Structure 1
Amino acid sequence: MEKTMFQYLKRVSIGLRARRAERALHELPDHILKDIGIRRAAISYAVREHLKDDRI
């Protein structure tokens, strides 16, 4: 039970981080996104992949 609760809280935390990152990136102008190599349509994918890399 304790391990399951910890895993659940970790997933919630990761989800919140992802939403904050996506929101911050969506607020940037297109030329800044281009400078960092992200298209606006790919923001969600880029954030999720980055967070997936952090979990390894």
Structure 2
Amino acid sequence: MGIPSNQAANACMFTTYGLFLVFGLVVAWKFSNKKEFLASIRSQPAIPLAFNFVASCM
């Protein structure tokens, strides 16, 4: 077995990306629930939420 060409490596990589994208969209569509999403608005205090944003930027 040798090293695959650039075209073969790109084909494998982008095919995998596409499959993960489709899988993620199907799962998100199947388990979406607008009632729970809207109920979570303003459920966290401001300080922990701000710390969360700071930590995600680090």
Structure 1 length normalisation: TM-score?
0.51
Residue 30 of structure 1 is matched in structure 2 by 34
Aligned residues: 35
Change (3 A) 1:33 1:8: farther
Out of 6, 23, 36, the position equivalent to 1:3 is: 6
Identity %: 6
Which structure 1 segments of 5+ residues have no match?
36-56
Q: Which has the higher contact order (CA 8 A, sep 6+)?
A: 1
- Structure 1 vs Structure 2 CA RMSD: 2.0
Structure showing greater radius of gyration is 2
Structure 2 length normalisation: TM-score?
0.50
Change (3 A) 1:25 1:4: same
